Amino acid sequence: ARNRHYKWEVKYEYRSPDCFKKLVITVNGITPGPTIQAQEGDTVVVQVNNTLITENLSIHWHGIRQIGTPWFDGSEGVTQCPILPGDTFIYQFVVDRPGTYLYHAHYGMQREAGLYGLIRVAPRDPEPFNYDFDRSIILNDWYHKSTYEQAAGLSSIPFQWVGEPQSLLIHGKGRFNCSKSPSLSTDVCDISKCSPFIQTVIPGKTYRLRICSLTALSALSFQIEGHNMTVVEADGHYVEPFVVKNLFIYSGETYSVLVKTDQDPSRNYWITSNVVSRNRTTPPGLAIFNYYPNHPKRSPPTVPPSPPAWDDVEPRLAQSLAIKARQGYIHKPPTTSDRVIMLLNTQNNVSERRHWSVNNVSFTHPHTPYLIALKENITNAFDPTSPPDGSEFANYDIFSVAENANATTSNGIYRLKFNTTVDVILQNANTMNKNNSETHPWHLHGHDFWVLGYGKGKFDVKNDTKQYNLENPIMKNTVPVHPFGWTAVRFRSDNPGVWAFHCHIESHFYMGMGVVFEEGIERVGKLPSSIMGCGQAKGFHNP
Ligand code: C2O
Ligand code: CU
C-alpha cells in the first residue's frame, strides 16, 4: 500500500460553468475538483489550505468509512471543528475498498458552491467485468445565487425557498440561456463563456462510465442517446448486471455502467440529464458523446431524447428494486436486527420557519462537535435526550398534509449499542402541500448498509418485513426514499465514532433533515488536536 499525497488550495474564484458568472469554490483552480486516484488499501493524505478568506470549511469523504479515523470524516459539527480561514488541515485516511466515491464540502450549504469531486479506488483483485476505457462523469445542478443568499433565505422570516436550480451541469459544464434574461449584461452572462462537456469515444469499444451525482436538490435521469447502459457498480459494490436506457440517480450516489460504442460511427450523440420527481423548470443538461474522429463540437443531427415523465414514480421504484448484489460478491446481512428505528420524514413549521423533521424533531448542529464532546466528556454540549425511535408515529397518516404542530428543533442524537444490528425504516409522507411528497436520498456516514427493501405507502411491520431481501441485498451508502413510500436499511454498529445520517439534498439537511448516530465512543482512539478549536472543544486544542 502506498501513501497518496495531495495539496489543495481551496478558494473563491469567478467562473462561468453555465455561462453565468459567479463566485465558485475551486480546488487548485478547478471545479469539479481534482480526482483522487488510489489503490485499495492506500492511505490518502490531503493537505487542505482554506483560502476562502472569510469562510469556514470542512471536507467530507463520501463513501469512505473512516475505520479507525472517525475524526477525519469531515462533517463539521459532528466530527470536527471547521477549518478556519487561512488555516491548513490535514486529512489522512485509508481507502480500504475499491470503487467509486466522492468528496465535497460539508459546512453549511457550501457544497453547492462547487467544492466537490471524485475518489476512484482501483481494486487489488480482477473485476468481474471487462472494459477498454474507464471514464467519470459527475452530474450536478447549479444555482446562480450564492450559498449565503440561499442559506439566509431558508433561515429568515418570512421563509424564502431556494427554488429550482437554473442549470444542470454535466461534469461541471452547462448552458444557461442568457438571452432569456436580457437584463443581464454580457459581463455576467455570456454564451461564449461556456461550452458543453465532451466525452470522446472510439467506436467499437466498451466504456466503463462512472456516473455520480452531487446535486443540491434534483433527482436526475441520465441518458446517452441511442445507447444502452449496463449497471455494474453502485456506491462501491458490484451489482448483478442489468440494462437501462436511462439511469435514475440521486444526490450522493455513484454508479458504474458499461456502454458499448456500437452505434453509427459517422455522427455524435447527446448525453442528457433531466430533473425527475419535481415539476421541472430547469432545462436539460446537455453534453456530447463524441465518436472519434467526428468533430467534437459537431452537434448531433437529432433532437435530444425526451426525458421520462417527472411525476412517474414507477420506473424509479423499479430501478431501485432492480439493484441487487452481484453473484459471487454477496455479503449476507444478519437475518435479524437488535433495534428498529422508524424515521418519519415530514415538513413542518417550527416558530414560523419551514423545516424538515424526522420523528417531529428538526436537526440542528451543536457548536461543539459530538465526537469531541463525547470523547472528552464535555457535558451539556448538546441535548442529552435522544430523539424518539418512531414507534409512536405508527398511526401517522402519511397521505394528509403535514401539520405536526408539536415539532421541535434539537441536537440530540441516537446512541447505538456497539456491534449490534440496526434497522432503519425511512418513511416518507405528504409535505405541507396537498397531494405532494418528495424524493429524499439518505446518506449514512461511516457505513454501508444493506438495502432490505422499498415499498409504497405506509410501512407495515407485519407484512413488509416478510418481503425483505435477505438473499442478495446491495450494500450502499446512499438510498432514495420515494414519494409516499418507505425504504428499509440494515447496518452493523461496528465502527466506533459519531456518524451523520441525512438527506443529501443540501437545503433539506440545512432545514433539519438528518439524525446522528453514536456507537462505540469508548473505543475511539486519541483525537487529533487539529479537529478542536471551536465551542467547548477549545480547551482541548493544543496546537
Ligand atoms: Cu455526501 Cu453528509 O454527505
Ligand atoms: Cu430531502
Residues with beta carbon inside 6 Å of ligand 1?
A: 60, 62, 75, 104, 106, 252, 443, 445, 500, 502, 504
Q: How far is the CA of 515 from the centre of ligand 2 (A)?
A: 12
Q: Which residues contact 40 (CB under 8 A, 6 or more apart)?
A: 95, 96, 97, 98, 121, 122, 123, 124
Distance between CA 452 and CA 454 in Å, rounded? 7
75 Cα nearest atom in ligand 1: 2
Q: Which ligand is nearest to the CA of 426?
A: 2
Q: Which residue has the cell 439566509?
A: 152
Note whether 239 and 330 are within 8 A (CB).
Answer: no
Q: Is the dihedral of CA 60, 61, 64, 70 positive or negative?
A: negative
The full set of domains in the chain, from first to last, is: 1-122 (2.60.40.420), 127-328 (2.60.40.420), 339-532 (2.60.40.420)
Cell of 446: 461511516
Q: Which ligand is nearest to the CA of 101?
A: 1
Count other Cβ atoms within 10 Å, centred on residue 412. 19
Count other Cβ atoms within 10 Å, centred on residue 500. 25
Q: Is the peptide bond before 315 cis (omega within 30 degrees of 0)?
A: no
* DSSP state letters, 38-71: EETT-EEEEEEEE--SS--B-EEEET---TT-GG
214 Cα nearest atom in ligand 1: 1
pLDDT value for 529: 94
pLDDT value for 405: 73
pLDDT value for 541: 67
Q: How far is the CA of 426 from the centre of ligand 2 (A)?
A: 11
Strand partners, 229: 244
Q: How far is CA 103 from the centre of its chain?
A: 9
104 Cα nearest atom in ligand 1: 1
pLDDT value for 428: 98
pLDDT value for 540: 74
Q: How far is the CA of 254 from the centre of ligand 2 (A)?
A: 18
pLDDT value for 403: 79
ipTM score of the complex? Answer: 0.98
Cell of 10: 481551496
- Longest Cα–Cα distance of the chain, Å, equals 68
Secondary structure class of 280 (helix, strand, coil) = coil
Low-confidence ranges of the chain (pLDDT < 50): none
252 Cα nearest atom in ligand 1: 1
pLDDT value for 352: 86
Q: How far is the CA of 55 from the centre of ligand 1 (A)?
A: 19
Q: How far is the CA of 112 from the centre of ligand 1 (A)?
A: 12
Q: What pTM value is reported for the model?
A: 0.97
62 Cα nearest atom in ligand 1: 1
Q: How far is the CA of 484 from the centre of ligand 2 (A)?
A: 13
